[in-house]
Amino acid sequence: MLKKIENYYWTLKYLKKSQLCYLLKNRLKRGKKAIVRVKAPKTSVLPLWIEELDENKEYLARFSVEEILKGNVTLLHERGKPEGKNWENPDKSHLWNFNLHYLEFLIPLAAAYKEEADARYYRCFRRYCRRWIQDNEDGSKDGWHPYTISLRLTNLWICLSGFGEIVQMDMEFLQELEDSMYAQYLHLQKTLERHLLGNHYFENIKAVLLGALYFQETEVYQKYRKLLQNEIKEQILADGVHYERSLMYHKIILEDLMRVARVMMETDDAPFYKELWDTIKKMINALYSIEGDMGHTPLFNDAGDGVARPYESLFCAALYGFTILPEWRPTFKEAGYYCLENNNLKLIFDAGEIAPDYMPGHGHCDGLSFELSIAKVPLFVNAGTGQYQGPLRAYFRSTAAHNTVVVDGEEQSECWGEHRVGKRIRKVSGSCGEDWVKGSLTSCTRKRHSRKITLKEVDERHTLTILDKVQGHAKAYLHLAPGFEYRQIGKHIVVKFAGRDLRRICEIKVEKNDQVTIHREGTLCSYAPEFGKIEQIQVLEIAWDGRDKAHKIEIKFG
């Protein structure tokens, strides 16, 4: 009980005063239902369909159109039926139910219609929209949560843009849909997630801004234009990285800004478009530098593939829609990410804060961890996220789930609940040179850890050298991506392809008195490249007693 009180104290300590006020207001308004029956005003078309994003084959492959036509949908690797009580299915996670309410699975129907001009895709779209309206007419629960409204409205406007003339001619249905969307738009303005802020609040503001343009409400547009400008300045760091330091959420916010900028092209608000363009450019540069050649979404903080739009589609949209070409750079000091490249090796190092102080819900204990890919194939990976609710949530946020060091069995930060952080790392710093990166931090229990990683050619072999300094008993972890395995030969550890292929990828050399353990099963071997997809991988544990002297791990490739 005392520990829980302490966790609440340290969690609340970092919140803004405004968040505490809105938390209290939300408690007082809890249970108040939305007004669901209103008459929509005159509307305009929003040109939100972006071919490079919405017709991208990798993106569309996430969904089975034939399955959707038959009344089912697979989200986060789990299948369900969007109707009746299934909108709040108690047998599925809260995250799955949230995703169902986004109605993102309707976008592939619009893409199929654009390609085949088959009206059955439109009829299916109409059927799902009416089903959602009918099944959620009580104005409460997840369907009327401000975050699901924000994503659902945007996805519906994307679909209306994609279907084009066929939906504009279906006036009875269009009026029914617009009345519902207007009710959602009005309710969203009353329930903005000011208590939470971060990407949720960004999505709220973006959706209302687009709604103000769609429903032609000039005063609302001017108000939310200013709010969005403020959030861009707050949430997009000077180096172009989204401040929650998750490449997945970075890509989601980048897409949001592209959508808004696409609409701005059709208005006379040139200054706002220029501001959006400049931000998109910074974010594209950061994404290109950090995720480029990694082969997947880097798994720092809450992240995974299959949620944000694919990496390549965002670059195509930036190029063809906004004439933006990315520029590479190795250092993102504000976010704390640093990049090393040598031949076909690419390393990303995290020496940044866990998250914004007042919004750490997507933060992990990944300080001084790294990921490494070889020839665009992930080799050393962090464990991922996998779920927001469930028994593995605590593990995926833990220090041992990342390629870093656990000191005296203690966590870097106190991550608790689903999205909370109490005491956290401090005195975090990082820097990099042409062939090295380094950083240091002090844990929530005042344990100091410093690390330097070099990547250079030694004796005609590319060599990664990791130097760690700690005071206490240390355990370093190296998580292998699927498709690779460890094999121990004396004190040397060999990394090879899984199975009978005997080719060596690299050889890991540790110090004489180190205790080495290869984990092949159990919670420590859990790996989630996507939400809802959990695999077993091999994890190398290297233990030693630190005395503030540099401890060396050497990895030779080839």
Residue 1 has pLDDT above 80, yes or no: no
* pLDDT tens digits, one per residue of 462-498: 999 999 999 999 999 999 999 999 999 877 899 999 9
Q: DSSP per residue over 390-419, as a string? A: STTHHHHHSGGGSSSEEETTB-SS-EETTT
Average pLDDT of span 29-52? 92
**% of the chain with per-residue pLDDT over 70:** 100
Q: What is the pLDDT of residue 285?
A: 98
**H helical segments located in 215-359:** 218-235, 247-264, 270-291, 311-322
Indicate the pLDDT class of residue 28, thresholds 50, 70 and 90: confident
Last residue of some domain: 170, 197, 224?
A: 197
Q: What is the pLDDT of residue 289?
A: 98
Exposure of 409 by Cβ count < 10 A (0-12 exposed, 13-18 middle, 19+ buried)?
exposed
Distance CA 126, CA 106 (A): 10
**Residues 6+ away with beta carbon under 8 Å from 35:** 139, 183, 186, 187
Q: Are 518 and 532 in contact (CB under 8 A)?
A: no
Q: What is the pLDDT of residue 516?
A: 95
In a domain, 410, yes or no: yes
In a domain, 415, yes or no: yes
In a domain, 531, yes or no: yes
**Domain with 408 in it: what CATH number?**
2.70.98.70
* pLDDT tens digits, one per residue of 117-172: 999 999 999 999 999 999 999 999 999 999 999 999 999 999 999 999 999 999 99
Indicate the pLDDT class of residue 2, thresholds 50, 70 and 90: confident
Distance CA 39, CA 80 (A): 32
Q: DSSP per residue over 437-463, as a string? A: EEEEEE-TT--EEEEEEEEEEETTEEE
Tokens matching residue 328: 């590479």
Q: What is the pLDDT of residue 30?
A: 77
Residue 459 has pLDDT above 80, yes or no: no
**Residues 6+ away with beta carbon under 8 Å from 467:** 451, 452, 453, 550, 551, 552
**Enclosing domain of residue 358:** 331-557
Count of alpha carbons within 13 angstroms of residue 64, beta-carbon side: 13
* pLDDT tens digits, one per residue of 124-134: 999 999 999 99
* pLDDT tens digits, one per residue of 64-75: 999 999 999 999
Tokens matching residue 46: 């929003």
Task: Indicate the SS3 state at residue 147.
Answer: helix
Last residue of some domain: 197, 224, 247?
A: 197
Query: What is the number of structural domains in the chain?
Result: 2
- Same domain? For 336 and 193 the reply is no
Closest by alpha carbon to 480, among 374, 409, 341, 399? 374
Return the bridge partners of 507, or none.
494, 556
Last residue of some domain: 138, 165, 197?
A: 197
Q: What is the pLDDT of residue 446?
A: 96
* pLDDT tens digits, one per residue of 225-241: 999 999 999 999 999 99
Tokens matching residue 185: 């738009």
In a domain, 421, yes or no: yes
In a domain, 416, yes or no: yes
- Same domain? For 192 and 338 the reply is no
Phi/psi of residue 541, each to 5°?
-115, 125
Distance CA 190, CA 195 (A): 13
Distance CA 164, CA 386 (A): 36
Average pLDDT, the chain: 96
In a domain, 23, yes or no: no
Q: What is the pLDDT of residue 460?
A: 78
How much is the pTM? 0.97
Q: Are 81 and 110 in contact (CB under 8 A)?
A: no
In a domain, 256, yes or no: no
Q: How many residues are present in the chain?
A: 558
Residue 373 has pLDDT above 90, yes or no: yes
Q: Are 162 and 18 in contact (CB under 8 A)?
A: no
Residue 107 has pLDDT above 80, yes or no: yes
Task: Indicate the SS3 state at residue 349.
Answer: strand
Q: What is the pLDDT of residue 457?
A: 86
Q: What is the pLDDT of residue 358?
A: 94
Average pLDDT of span 264-281? 96
In a domain, 237, yes or no: no
Q: What is the pLDDT of residue 27?
A: 81
Q: For the stretch 71-87, what's the b/e string if a residue is b when 16 or more beta carbons lie within 10 angstroms of its beta carbon?
A: eebebbebebebeeebb
Distance CA 324, CA 320 (A): 8
Q: What is the pLDDT of residue 172?
A: 97
- Same domain? For 395 and 542 the reply is yes
Average pLDDT of span 176-191? 98
Residue 107: count of CB within 10 angstroms of its CB: 23
